[in-house]
Structure 1
Amino acid sequence: MTEYTGLEIAVVGMAGRFPGSSTVDEFWANVLAGEAGVRRFTDEELDAAGVSVERRAEPGFVPMGGALDGIEFFDAKLFGYSPRDAAVLDPQQRVFLECAWHALEHAGHLGGGQDVGVYASASIDTYLLRHLWNNPAVPGGLQPLDLLLANDKDTLASRVAYHLDLTGPAITVQTACSSSLVTIHVACQALLGRDCDIALAGGVSIRPPVHEGYQHTEGGILAADGRCLPFDVDAHGVVAGNGVAAVVLRRLEDAMADGDTIYAVVKGTAVNNDGADKVGFTAPSVNGQARVIRAAHDLSEVDSSTIGYVEAHGTATPLGDPIEVAALTQAFVSPPEACALGSVKALIGHLDAAAGVAGFVKAALAVQNGVVPPSPYFTAPNPETGLENSPFFVNREALPWPGTGPRRAGVSGFGMGGTNAHAVLEEPPSPEPMPPSRSRHLLVLSAASEKSLEESRTQLAEHLSAGGQELADVSHTLRTGRRALRHRMAAVVGGGESTAPAAASATALSEAWIGAGDRRDTVFLFPGQGSQYAGMASQLADEEPVFRAALDECAALLPFDLHEVLADADRLTRTRYTQPALFAVEYSIAKLWEHWGVRPSAMLGHSVGEYVAACLAGVFSLQDALKLVTARGELMDALPAGAVLSVPLGADDLVLPKDVCLAASNAPNMSTVAGTFEAIERFEASLSVTSRRLHTSHAFHSSMIDPMLGEFAALVSQVELREPRIPFISNVSGTWITDGEATDPGYWARHARAAVRFSEGLRAMITGPVNVLEVGPGNVLTTLARQHDLGGAKAFGSLRHPREDKHDLDTMLAAAGRLWIAGADVDLAALTADERRRRVPLPQYPFERVRHWVDLPGTAPREIEVIEVLPQAADTAVGGDLAVITGIWQELLGIARIGPNDDYFELGGHSLLATQILARITVALGVALPAAAIFEAPTPSKLAARVDQLRADATPAEDDEFARLLAEIRDMSPEELRAELDRERDAQEISQS
C-alpha cells in the first residue's frame, strides 16, 4: 500500500471538450479506440471559414485540423450575458467558463462555500483579430474597452471566479505550449501553501475560424499531410487542434476526509526554463527538459523505475522528438525495464495553451483505469530518437499496466521559449467503505430554464437506471455539490434499496415535484390536541439524530417515560400525557427544521401548539414550557369529561345556546363548539348541517375549563416570561401577540379558556406569498389553511397522517424538497450532515446553448438583430418615452424583444453598458438621468416613469441649464461622455457618504 507524505494532491474532477469528443468520457473512449479527432474539412466548412478556392489550390495547403465544433453556441442566459455582450466575448472564455462549471460539478464542488482558486491559460485571441476588429457586423455601441474586457487573456481566470463565485486566487498563466500544465503546477503549490482549499486548473485553445486548415512549409513544424505521428519514422510535424480542459485539485488528505471521488494523485510537479542552453529561443533543450523531469521525480520521492507510462509533449517534429527522448533517458536515473510513451497530439492535434492539461487528463485516466493507452498510428521508431536503445517504447495497442506496484505516469509540457513542466501521477487510493445510510434520500435538481431542468431529469434517470452508485451518495452529491438555480425539482427515493433499480428511480423522478419561484419566508403552524397518534415520529427518531436528541432532551424534563407514552395509544388519549407528548414531538420537529436551515419568520399554534411557538420564540425556556404544559394537561385531565363538536359553519354564522361555547374558529366554514355531553347532543340535534363529534376527553376552550384557571395562572406566575424574539399569533385575539400579553400569566390562563381564533390568526399572518409549514403530526392545520385564501402561499406538512402508509422520512424529505422548490431557505447539506458520504460523478449540466457569433466579413449575414432608434424630441409623451427607452435597450443589449417589466440585469446588463444607455436616453428624451437611475429603476416602465417624474419636477432655470448641457453632450465623443457620467456618479457617491 502506498504511503503518503502529506504533500500529495488529489485530482477530484475533470471536464473537457476536444476534437471529436464533447466530454472526458468520450475522450477516453476515443483514446482507447485510437479514434482521431483531427479530420479533413468539407467545402462548406472552408467556405464558412473564408478560405478562397484559390487558396485551397495552393501547393502545401492542408484542409485539416482538430476542430472544436459548436464554439459559436453559448448559454449566455445562465451566465448573465446579453446577446450583444455574448457575441463579442472571446469563444475561449465562453467555452472555458462552461468547462470550469462542468469540472467543479464533476468533482461535486460547484455548490460553493469553500475557498476555490482558478489557474487558467488561453491561446492568442484570433476572434478579436479576425472576427471583430473593423467588422461592420459587430453590434453597435461597443467601445474599445468593452472589446478589451471581453477578449483579453488577463480576464480569463477572473471571469470564471466572478461567474462561479470563487473566492480563491484567480491567476491567468501564459508560458506558450506548456501553459496549462504550468497552471496545474501553480495550483498544486497554492494548495500546499494554503492559498486555497480547492483549485481549478486548465487551459483553452480555440483559434477561429477553426475549420480553416493551414499552410505547410518545408522545414516548418506543421505536418505536410495533416497527420501528427510522435516518435514515428514518418513523423514530420504537428497539426493544430482546438480544445479545452480543466481539472479540480485538492490536498489528498482533505479529499479523502471529504469523501471525494479521486481519479489520480499528483505526487509532485516541477517547472523550470532552458535559459540559454539551446541553439535558439524557440529550440528545445535536452538539459532543460531532463532537469525538470528529474526535479519532479525528486519532489515526488518516487523511483523513476516505477513509472510505467509517460504522456510526452510529442510534437512529432524532427528536432523535438529526439531531444525529448534524450531528455527522458537522461532524467530516468533508475531506468525502468520498459516504459511506454504516448502523445495525445496524435489524436486531437496540438492544443497549444491547452495541450498540457489535455495530456494530464489522459494520463490521469490511464492510471485510474490501469490501462496504458495505445498509439495505433505507430509503425516504427524514428531512428533519430534512439528509442530502440532506450527503455522507452510506443505501444500500438492498449496494454494492462506493467508491474505490481502503484501505477505511476509522467506528463510533460514544454513551451516555446523554454518553460518546461513535468508532473508525476499515481493511481488513486482505494475508496474507504461508507457506513450504512438512511433509508430514504432526497434527490434535487435545478436549472436556469425549464428545458435544461427536463434534460437534467432525463439524464439522471438514465444514469441511475445503470446502477452502480449508492443512492445516499447520489443524493449527497446533488445536494452539496451543485449550484441552486431558479427552476427546481425534487424527489424522495429509497425504501431499503442500496442502489437505484431502474423502475424505482425512473418512477420517482417522473413523479418529482417541479417548480420555480423567488425566495419566500416560511411560517410555522403547530397543531393542538387531537392530531396525535401512537407511534408518531417514531421512524424519525430512529433515523434523525437531531430530532432524537431534542426528543430525549424533552423526555428528561418530563415526570413520565415519554418514549413509552408515544408508543401507547391508550395513554395518548389521556390529556395529562397527550399535551406534553404533543409538545415534545412538535418542538423536536421544529429543532430538526432549524437544523435543516428552515427557520420561521412567524408562527401560529393551535391551542397547546401555541406553547411550542412561545418556547421557540423565547417566551418560555424549554424546562418551563414543559412544566406548564404538563401542569395544564394534568389540571384539564382532572376536570369532568365533556364533548367537542365540529360544525361546517363559520364562527360568525353560529347561534349558540348558553351552555355551548365556541371552542375554535378554524376556517371560514369550519368551527368547533364544546360543552357537556348533554348540551352538545341537544345542539347537534338542532343543526340543519351535518356535524361531527371529535374524539376528545374534555370540553376544551369552554366554560368547563373555568375551575382550573386560577391555579394554572398561579403556576405560570412562578416561571420567567420573556418578550418574544420571533413574532407569533395569539389564539385569544387572532392577531399578533404583544409583549405585554406574552409576559402576562393571566394571558396564559385566558388562553386555556378562550376560543382558538385560528382562522382569524391565519388571515392576519398570511398577507402575501409565503410557505406555510405544519410542524407536527398529521395534516389538520394544512387542510384548514387550504380552506382560506392564501394569496399565493403554499402549505406543507411535516409528518404523515396516521392512516397514511408512509415512512416518516418520506413526508419530511418531501416537505424539505418542496420547500426548497418554493424558495425557502433549506440547507440541503445539513439534511445528512451527521453522515459521511461520498461525492460521485453524475451527468453534467445540459447548457442551453444559443448561437452568439459575429461572422467573418462577407461569409454570412449578421446574426444579431438590433432595432435602430432615432433620437426623439424632448416633448415626447410618456408612451413614447417607454418606446424610446425600450428601443435603446433592444439595440444596446442585442435583444429583439424586451417587455416593459423586464429587468435590466436579468437581461444581461451591467454597469459599463448602463452609462451608454443613460447617455442615449439623455440625448433622445432631453432629460438628465442620474448615473444610478438604471439601478434604482431597472425596467423600461420604471425608467420611463422616472423620466416623466424628472420632467415634471424640472424648473425653468433647470431647463435652461440642461439645454446648455445637452448641447455640450451632443458634441462629446463616447469616451468623453462616459468619463463625464463616471465623474457625476463618483460625485454623487461622495456626497451621499
Structure 2
Amino acid sequence: MTHDQPEDQDALVAVVGMAGRFPGAPSVESFWENLCAGRETISALPDQADPEHPEYVPAYGVLEGAGDFDAAYFGLSAHDALITDPQQRLLLECAHEALERAGHGGPDRPVTGVFVGAGNNGYAEAVRARIDELPFLDEWRLRQATAPDFAGTRIAYHLNLTGPALTVQTACSTSLVAVHLAVQALLNGECDLALAGGASVVPYLPRMRYTPGGIVSADGHCRAFDADSDGTVGASAVGVVVLRPLSDALADGDHVHAVIRGSAVNNDGRHKAGFTAPSVVGQAEVIRAALEVAGVDPDQVGYVEAHGTGTALGDPIEVAALARAFGPGTKRHGPCLLGSVKTNIGHADAAAGVAGFIKAVLCVEHGVVPATLHYRRPNPDIDFSSVFEVSGSTRAWPTDGPRIAGVNALGVGGTNAHVVLEQAPPSETSAPVDRPQLLMVSGRTPEAADAAARRLADHLATRPQTHLADAAWTLQTGRTHHIHRRFVVAGDTQEAVSALRTGTRTARAGAPSDAEQVFLFPGQGGQHVGMTAALYDGEPAFRRHLDEVAEAVAGHVGLDLREVLYPRTEQDRPAAAEKLATIDVGQPAVFAVQYATARLLASWALRPSAVTGHSLGAYAAACVAGVFSPVDAARLVAERGRLLGTVPAGAMAAVRLPEEDVVRLLPGDVTIGAVNGPGQCTVTGPAPSVARFTEELTARGIEARVLRIATAGHSPLVEPIAGRFAEVIGTVPRERPTVPVLSDTTGSWADPEKIRTVEYWVRHLRRTVRFGEVLDVLLSTPDRVLVDVGPGRTLATLARQHPRYDGKQAVVHLAPHPAEQVSETVVLLTGVGEVWTRGARPDFAALHGHRPRRRIPLPTYPFDKRHHLVPPPPGSGAGDRPTAAAPCSTPAVFGPAPAVPRPDAGAARPVPPASGRPSVLDTVLTAFAQALGYPDIDPEDNFFDLGGDSLTATKLAAWAATTFHVPLAASDVLRSQTAAALVSLLHQRGAAPVTAQEVPAS
C-alpha cells in the first residue's frame, strides 16, 4: 500500500522541516554533504591524551560553537543566557530554524506542539559551583534554567507555540520517541504542526574511558557491524524536525522531505539479562508493530538506519531483532541495507535517534544511502541472514518502487522506538510565473537584515532554478517580519542575486503595527497612452475596477476609455494620445486609473489611514474616502472635464518661486492656481498670457515651464461654469467620509460635513490649490508613509522637495514617470515593498492572486551569537577547554571586577571605595548590570530590551528595598523600565546613597 491513495493520507505524517547541529556540520545540508562524502567528523584530540592513563580515549564528536547563542533575539538577558543549559539554548535555536525551514516561521502558523528531550551534561553543577559569583541567582532560577523538564516549555514560550509541550526522557532513544509522540499528537488532533527532536550537548570536553567489553571504543572510531568493532564514541548534537499531517502539508504547499507511515514505542520489560542490556524480543516487537501500523511489508523496506553503536552486545542483538521482525525476505528484489550515523559523528545520546532519523529522511528524499564508515568485514557474531547488507560505500537506493526506510533507536533501560519512512509523493510544480516577485528579508538589527540578504543571495546564486514566486511566498508568509527590513523586486534569480547584493538599503519599520499610510492622488498632467497597461493585463482586481469606471462614463465622454488608454495597435496610438490630451477625456482617464489602483491596493490589504488629492486628484481621494460612490465620482469627473473644456483656451505653468514673489510679478489676467511648496507655484490663465509670462520669467533666469494641461484650472476663467457645476454636484449623493480627508483647498483636514456640501466642491473648482500646506501637515508627523498613487510621481517629487521632508517619512510612488522605460509592475511592487518596510502588512495571498504557491527551504535567520559559558567546576574531571573554542564569559558581578573576565563587553561599573558614597543611580546601574549581564548599562536602556523579565524584576525589587530601606515591588521595576526611571521613583520614596559596605552581594 502506498500513499498515492487519498484515503491513506489522513493516517500519514509529513516531515516538512529539519534543522540540526552536528559534529563538523552546523546545518542539515552540511551534515548530508559529509555523510555522502564518507567523512568522519569525530575529532581526534591529541591534547587530551594522557600517557599515564591510556584508557582515556582522546576523541569526541565535538560540536563547535556549543556555548554560543543570540540571547537578544530570544529576549534573554546575558545573565539568563549564561545560566541556561546550552542544550536548551540550541534546541530553541534549532526549533526556530526548523520552523523557518518548513516555511512556518511566521506568527500565523497552525497550532504547534513541542516534543523534545535532552541529556544530562553537568552544566547545572558547573553553574552551581559558581553561584556565589553570580548575583541574583538562586536555586530555583538555576533549576529553571538547567533542568530538562523545561526544554519543551522553553521553546513553546519563546516561539509562542500553544500546542502540547513535553519533555521526553528515555536515554538514547529519547529523540526518536519524541518523534513518535509528535506523530500521535498530530493524528489525535492535539496540534496541527509539531516540533520533535532532542539535544545532547556537553559544554566541556568529556574524558571518555575505555574498558574492555564496555561501550567506549578504544581508538576513537565507531565500527558498527564490523568484525573489529569494540564500541562507540561520544558526541554532541542537536536535531529538530517539523511534522504535519500529510494531507494538510500537501494542501498547503509545504515541502515534504519524507512521509512517516508509522511508528511504535515499547519497553523490553524483563526480557533481557539486566536493566542496561538490550533485548531481541522487545526490539523485534517494536519493529514489527511499526511495520504493521505503516501497512508495509518488510520486503518493501530498502534501508534501515540502525542504532548501530558498534558494541559487542548491542549490534548482534539489534540485527537479530531486525531479522526476527523482517522474516526470511522471500519476496525481496534486493538487499535491505543497514547503516549507522554513529560511524560518522559518534553517539549523540539523547539526540542519537533524531540524528539517525534526519539521515534516513535525507536518504529516502535523495535516493542515496551513504556509506557506513569503517566497515570492512562483517562481525562474525552477527547473522545478517539473506536480507541485510551493510554497505561500506555510498550507494544508490537498492530497490525499485517507493523508497521505504526504517529508523531504529534503543534506550538504556529498554525503551525502544522504530519509525517507518517513505519518500514523499510527487508534488505539483508551481506554474511558471513571468511577473516580477517581491523578495523580502528582515532582522532585529540592520546588520542581521543585511546578513539575511547576503544569505539569500548566496542561496539563489547556487540554485538558479529556484521558483522565484515560491521563494517570495515563503519569505512573505513563512518568516517573522522584524523591524529592520530589506526587499528587492526581481524577475529572475540572477536579477534577484544582483539586487540583494548591491541594490537596496535597510529600512526600519516605524512600528510593529500597520504603517500610517496616506494616499496622495495627483491631478491631470501625468496621463499617457498605455499607462497601467501591465496592471490592466495582469491584475484582475485592477481590471475589474477600471472597467467599472470606463463603463460608467462611456456615455458621458462618447468613447471607451480603455480604447484610449490601451490602443489595440500601434497605428491607433497617435489618435489615442490626441484624445487623452484633451481635458474631457484626460480627466476621467486619470480618475479611472487612480481609483483602480487604490482598489487594487485595498485587495492587497493596503488601505489608507488618510487621503488627499491635488486638484482633480481630490475626486479620487473623496471616492476612496466614501464621499462619492465610484460611479457617481466617475460621472462627476467626466462632467467636470466636459465643462472645463468649454471655457476659453487656457494654460498652466510651473514657476520655481515663492508665492509672494510670483504675486508681485503676475500680469493682470494670470493668477496663482496652486502653491505646491515654499518655492513651487503654478500659475493659470489665458493660454497666450501664460506663455508670454513664462517666456519673461525664463529670460530673467527664473525657472518656469508650461504644463501639459490645456485649461486654466483654478482661475477666473472657470467662473462661468460654476453655476452649472453646482447643479451637477447637487444631483450626486454625498456621504460623510469614512477616512480623514486632507483638503487641498484649505491645506487642513476637511470638516466631514462641509466636504459633503455643494459649496465645498464649487470652491474647490475655483480656488488656489494649497498642496504645500497639505505637505506641511503631512510632513509634521514622523513615520507616516506618503503614497503617490499616480499616474507618474509628481506628488512624491513635491514631497521630497519640501523643506520639512527629512527622510523620517517614507515617500512612495506606485507608477513610473512617462519617460521611464521600466515595468509598471516592478514600480508598483517596489512601492508595496517600501510600504512594508515601514510596517505595513499586505495580504500576501492576495498579492499572489490567490494562486497556489509552495513553501520551499530557504536560508534561515542569521543569529548574532555571543559566547555564554561558565567554566567547568574545579576538580570536576571535565576537559580543560570547552567544546566551543571561545573565551568563557560571565555577567558583571558585585565587587571591583567580574569573577571571570568578559573581554568582549568591558569591565563592570566599579563601586567606589568604602570612604565614598556612590549615588543611587550608580548603585542601581551596578545592580542592573549584574542582574542582566551587561556591564555598561545606560540609565535610559530599556529593562525589557536587555532581556529583563518578571523574575529578574522581583529580585531587583527585593534588593533595592533592602539596600535603600524603601518599599518597592516588582511591578515598580516593570513599570519603570529604565534605571533612570527607577532611580527617580526611589528618590520619591526617600532613597539615599549608600556606602560600598552597604551594597549586598545578591
| TM-score with structure 2 setting the length | 0.89
User: Partners of 1:366 and 1:525 in 2: how far apart?
Assistant: 56
2:603 to 575, 581, 595: 595
Q: CA deviation at 1:298?
A: 1.5
The answer to whether residue 862 in structure 2 is matched with residue 862 in structure 1 is no
Q: Which moved more, 1:88-97 or 1:744-753?
A: 744-753
Aligned to 2:923: 884
User: Partners of 2:542 and 2:157 in 1: how far apart?
Assistant: 39
Aligned to 1:983: none
Aligned to 1:203: 198
CA contact 1:138–1:854 (8 Å) conserved in 2? no
Q: CA deviation at 1:923?
A: 4.1
The answer to whether residue 582 in structure 2 is matched with residue 558 in structure 1 is no
User: Partners of 1:732 and 1:251 in 2: how far apart?
Assistant: 60
1:383 counterpart SS class: coil
User: Partners of 2:826 and 2:220 in 1: how far apart?
Assistant: 59
Aligned to 2:426: 430
Q: CA deviation at 1:929?
A: 4.1
User: Partners of 1:10 and 1:504 in 2: how far apart?
Assistant: 31
Aligned to 2:124: 129
1:518 to 510, 515, 522: 510
Alignment deviations for residues 731-754 of structure 1 (CA, whole Å, 9 cap, x no partner): 221100111212212212221121
Aligned to 1:10: 14
- When the two chains are superposed, the root-mean-square deviation of aligned CA atoms in Å is 2.7
CA contact 1:648–1:671 (8 Å) conserved in 2? yes
1:303 to 278, 284, 297: 297
CA contact 1:18–1:68 (8 Å) conserved in 2? yes
1:916 counterpart SS class: helix
Q: CA deviation at 1:527?
A: 0.7
CA contact 1:491–1:513 (8 Å) conserved in 2? no
User: Partners of 2:822 and 2:973 in 1: how far apart?
Assistant: 52
2:32 to 17, 24, 28: 28
1:343 to 340, 343, 366: 340
The answer to whether residue 864 in structure 2 is matched with residue 848 in structure 1 is yes
User: Partners of 1:129 and 1:439 in 2: how far apart?
Assistant: 55
Q: CA deviation at 1:908?
A: 1.4
User: Partners of 1:599 and 1:259 in 2: how far apart?
Assistant: 28
1:662 to 658, 672, 678: 672
User: Partners of 1:100 and 1:8 in 2: how far apart?
Assistant: 22
The answer to whether residue 811 in structure 2 is matched with residue 787 in structure 1 is no
Aligned to 2:153: 158
Aligned to 1:535: 530
Aligned to 2:137: 142
Q: CA deviation at 1:159?
A: 1.8
Alignment deviations for residues 921-952 of structure 1 (CA, whole Å, 9 cap, x no partner): 4444555445333333322333334444x25x
1:411 counterpart SS class: strand
Aligned to 1:481: 478
Q: CA deviation at 1:876?
A: 8.3
Q: CA deviation at 1:314?
A: 1.6
1:119 counterpart SS class: strand
1:70 to 65, 74, 82: 65
Letter of the 2:982 partner, please give it.
Answer: L
1:76 counterpart SS class: coil
Q: CA deviation at 1:720?
A: 2.7
Aligned to 1:282: 276
User: Partners of 1:615 and 1:351 in 2: how far apart?
Assistant: 66
Aligned to 1:755: 768
The answer to whether residue 630 in structure 2 is matched with residue 622 in structure 1 is yes
User: Partners of 2:517 and 2:922 in 1: how far apart?
Assistant: 40
User: Partners of 2:3 and 2:689 in 1: how far apart?
Assistant: 83
User: Partners of 1:570 and 1:527 in 2: how far apart?
Assistant: 21
1:943 to 962, 974, 982: 982
Q: CA deviation at 1:916?
A: 2.1
Alignment deviations for residues 211-253 of structure 1 (CA, whole Å, 9 cap, x no partner): 2221223343333333322222222322221100111222222
Aligned to 1:352: 349
CA contact 1:18–1:242 (8 Å) conserved in 2? yes
User: Partners of 1:536 and 1:855 in 2: how far apart?
Assistant: 68
Q: CA deviation at 1:65?
A: 1.8
CA separation of 1:225/1:116 partners in 2, compared to 1, >3 Å: closer, same or farther?
farther
Aligned to 1:732: 745
CA separation of 1:531/1:464 partners in 2, compared to 1, >3 Å: closer, same or farther?
same
CA contact 1:116–1:200 (8 Å) conserved in 2? no
CA contact 2:775–2:799 (8 Å) conserved in 1? yes
In structure 2, runs of 5+ residues without a counterpart are: 567-575, 875-879, 881-887, 889-898
| TM-score with structure 1 setting the length | 0.90
**Equivalent residues in 2 for 1:574-653, closer than 5 Å:** 574-653=582-661
Alignment deviations for residues 675-698 of structure 1 (CA, whole Å, 9 cap, x no partner): 222443464466553321112121
CA separation of 1:214/1:307 partners in 2, compared to 1, >3 Å: closer, same or farther?
same
CA separation of 1:657/1:483 partners in 2, compared to 1, >3 Å: closer, same or farther?
same
Q: CA deviation at 1:869?
A: 6.6
Q: CA deviation at 1:382?
A: 2.3
Q: CA deviation at 1:617?
A: 1.7
CA contact 2:124–2:142 (8 Å) conserved in 1? no
The answer to whether residue 397 in structure 2 is matched with residue 418 in structure 1 is no
CA separation of 1:686/1:234 partners in 2, compared to 1, >3 Å: closer, same or farther?
closer
2:727 to 714, 719, 732: 714
Q: Which moved more, 1:59-68 or 1:354-363?
A: 59-68
CA contact 2:115–2:194 (8 Å) conserved in 1? no
Aligned to 1:170: 165
Q: CA deviation at 1:785?
A: 0.8
Aligned to 1:773: 787
Aligned to 2:208: 214
User: Partners of 1:140 and 1:98 in 2: how far apart?
Assistant: 27
CA contact 1:434–1:837 (8 Å) conserved in 2? yes
CA separation of 1:552/1:901 partners in 2, compared to 1, >3 Å: closer, same or farther?
farther
User: Partners of 1:834 and 1:332 in 2: how far apart?
Assistant: 47
Letter of the 1:39 partner, please give it.
Answer: S
Alignment deviations for residues 450-496 of structure 1 (CA, whole Å, 9 cap, x no partner): 333333333322322222312222222222222222332211211xx
CA contact 1:768–1:790 (8 Å) conserved in 2? no
2:72 counterpart SS class: helix
Aligned to 1:919: 958
The answer to whether residue 379 in structure 2 is matched with residue 382 in structure 1 is yes
Q: CA deviation at 1:830?
A: 4.2
Aligned to 2:569: none
Q: CA deviation at 1:313?
A: 1.4
User: Partners of 2:685 and 2:383 in 1: how far apart?
Assistant: 105
CA contact 1:438–1:472 (8 Å) conserved in 2? no
Q: Which moved more, 1:845-854 or 1:654-663?
A: 654-663
Q: CA deviation at 1:884?
A: 3.0
Letter of the 2:868 partner, please give it.
Answer: H
In structure 1, runs of 5+ residues without a counterpart are: 952-958, 975-993
CA contact 1:115–1:167 (8 Å) conserved in 2? no
Q: CA deviation at 1:573?
A: 1.4
Letter of the 1:18 partner, please give it.
Answer: F
Letter of the 1:668 partner, please give it.
Answer: P
**Equivalent residues in 2 for 1:196-345, closer than 5 Å:** 196-209=191-204, 211-333=205-327, 335=329, 336=332, 337-345=334-342
**Equivalent residues in 2 for 1:902-913, closer than 5 Å:** 902-913=941-952
Aligned to 2:934: 895
CA separation of 1:600/1:345 partners in 2, compared to 1, >3 Å: closer, same or farther?
same
Aligned residues: 940
**Equivalent residues in 2 for 1:790-805, closer than 5 Å:** 790-791=805-806, 792-805=808-821
CA separation of 1:685/1:405 partners in 2, compared to 1, >3 Å: closer, same or farther?
closer
1:41 to 27, 41, 45: 45
